[in-house]
Amino acid sequence: MNRVLHREMEHAFPSEKIKVGGQMLHYLKIGAGPKLVLAFHGYANNASMFYFLEHSDYTVLSFDLPFQGKSESMPGAIISKDNLKQLATELMSAYNVPKIGLVGFSLGARVCLCLAEQMPEHIRNIVLVAPDGTRHNYFYQFLTATALGRFAFRGFVRFGALYIQLFSFLQKLGLLSRSLFTFAMQYIRRPESRQLLYNIWMSTSKLIPDLHKAKHNIKANRIPVHLLMGQQDKVIPLQNAHNFKGHSADIVIHVFDRGHNLLDFEEVRGTLAAWLFRTNQSNNS
């Protein structure tokens, strides 16, 4: 992502903070229209990544997730699905709206899917970009939800050099793709990066959507859902989106000849905005 541009955008919009599950989350207010949208960024990003979603008919509240951006986070505090629902309900009341739109990139998509599970009757539409959470991740659940996994995870933070050697060995054997290895290394090579990974993953460990319930709610409430996927994405494979969609007419997949960081590209940003701000929502593309 263009981090220089994002730093500039952090000061271009009003910002506020709100308490969510023991965390004080920072958010940017983009636009001042009567319709409300909640936006959630991906890992190692921040709220400013949605700077382009300024529209006269919408107010977009773009959040810094725990341990990222300007949010004030406490180690050990975990955001639950109930906390999310309370956040959305509070904001809907504050802005006096009956429904909200949702936008999520990568990790942020999990947040959106949890809201689709929790309060579908209040969701107008959803746009997810390279979404995490459309497939159950047993490895993540093992590391964050089991005693043995958390022990191993803490060991990874402390003795990361050994894990890096292991990942390098797996990459040389062809068991780990070079692109995925390169992507992982930028987040785990340094001790502080490993600690950040641990803090972010643990703080959002309860935000695992029940995919069966989420898909049922999407169908029952006819919520238009658009998935923007990268054909070359090695982090979130395109097949995940197809598996999630199944035979649903309410879920539409848009494919770009790009990698994981889709929002670096104008055509993707344009597609996201077009479907998010579409006046007459349709499931046909």
pLDDT average, residue stretch 187-207: 90
pLDDT at 4 over 90: no
Q: Tell me, yes or no, whether 174 and 246 share the same domain.
A: no
Is 83 contained in some domain?
yes
Of 185, 203, 221, the domain-final residue: 203
Q: Tell me, yes or no, whether 124 and 81 share the same domain.
A: yes
Q: For position 283, what pLDDT does the model report?
A: 40
Give CA–CA dist 11/16, Å, rounded.
12
Smallest CA-to-CA distance from 166 within 156, 154, 158 is with: 156
Q: For position 37, what pLDDT does the model report?
A: 98
Q: Tell me, yes or no, whether 75 and 111 share the same domain.
A: yes
Q: For position 163, what pLDDT does the model report?
A: 75
Q: Tell me, yes or no, whether 130 and 235 share the same domain.
A: yes
pLDDT at 5 over 70: no
Q: CATH number, domain at 132?
A: 3.40.50.1820
Is 159 contained in some domain?
yes
Q: For position 285, what pLDDT does the model report?
A: 37
CB neighbourhood size of 103 (10 A): 27
Q: Tell me, yes or no, whether 34 and 97 share the same domain.
A: yes
Q: Tell me, yes or no, whether 20 and 109 share the same domain.
A: yes
Is 285 contained in some domain?
no
Q: Tell me, yes or no, whether 111 and 223 share the same domain.
A: yes
Q: Tell me, yes or no, whether 120 and 255 share the same domain.
A: yes
Q: Tell me, yes or no, whether 44 and 123 share the same domain.
A: yes
Q: For position 187, what pLDDT does the model report?
A: 74
pLDDT in tens, 33-87: 999 999 999 998 999 999 999 999 999 999 999 999 999 998 889 999 999 999 9
| Beta bridge mates, 27 | 16, 63
pLDDT at 98 over 50: yes
The DSSP line for 49-84 is GGTT---TTEEEEEEPPTTSTT-B--TT----HHHH
Q: For position 82, what pLDDT does the model report?
A: 97
Higher-confidence residue of 165 and 245: namely 245
Q: For position 120, what pLDDT does the model report?
A: 97
Is 263 contained in some domain?
yes
Length of the chain: 285
Is 195 contained in some domain?
yes
Q: Tell me, yes or no, whether 41 and 89 share the same domain.
A: yes
Q: Tell me, yes or no, whether 24 and 87 share the same domain.
A: yes
Is 240 contained in some domain?
yes
Q: With pLDDT > 70 as the criterion, what percentage of the chain qualifies?
A: 91
CB 45 within 8 A of CB 260: no
Is 232 contained in some domain?
yes
Q: With pLDDT > 90 as the criterion, what percentage of the chain qualifies?
A: 72
Q: Which two tokens stand for residue 262?
A: 């889709």
Q: Which of 31-35, 171-175, 176-180, 245-249 has the lowest mean pLDDT?
A: 176-180
Of 188, 203, 218, the domain-final residue: 203
pLDDT at 26 over 70: yes
Q: For position 12, what pLDDT does the model report?
A: 80
pLDDT at 169 over 90: no
Q: For position 43, what pLDDT does the model report?
A: 93
Q: Tell me, yes or no, whether 165 and 252 share the same domain.
A: no
Domain that holds residue 57: 3-136+208-276
Q: For position 200, what pLDDT does the model report?
A: 94
Q: For position 11, what pLDDT does the model report?
A: 67
Of 203, 225, 254, the domain-final residue: 203
Is 282 contained in some domain?
no
Q: For position 179, what pLDDT does the model report?
A: 64
How many distinct structural domains can be found in the chain?
2
